Amino acid sequence: MEIHYRHEWKHVLNYADLLVLRQRLRAVMESDPHAVDGRYLIRSLYFDNPDDKALREKIDGVNMREKFRIRLYNCDSSVIHLEKKSKRNGLGTKYSANLTAEEAQKIVDGDIDWMLFAGRPLVQELYCKMRYQGMRPKTIVDYTREPFIFRPGNVRVTLDYDIRTGLDCTDLLNPEAVTIPAGDAPILLEVKWDEFLPSIIRDAVSVPDRRVGSFSKYAQCRVYG
Indicate if the pLDDT at residue 207 is higher than 90. no
Q: By mean pLDDT, which of 18-22, 59-63, 123-127 is the weakest?
A: 59-63
Domains and CATH numbers, the chain: 7-220 (3.20.100.30)
pLDDT, tens only, 149-182: 999 989 999 999 999 999 999 999 999 999 999 9
* Three-class secondary structure of residue 64 per DSSP: strand
Rounded CA separation 171/59 (Å): 26
Burial pattern 48-73, b for ≥16 Cβ within 10 A else e, equals bbeeebbbebbeeeeeebbbbbbbbb
Number of H helices, E strands in the chain: 6, 10
Stretch 135-140: mean pLDDT, rounded?
97
Indicate if the pLDDT at residue 2 is higher than 70. no
Which positions ≥6 away from 49 have C-beta within 8 Å? 129, 133, 134, 135, 136
Pairing of strands 64-73, 80-88: antiparallel
Chain-wide mean pLDDT for the chain?
94
Indicate if the pLDDT at residue 210 is higher than 80. no
Q: Is residue 61 very low, low, confident or very high in pLDDT (cuts 50, 70, 90)?
A: confident
- Kindly report the CA angle at 54 between 191 and 44, in degrees rounded to 5? 60
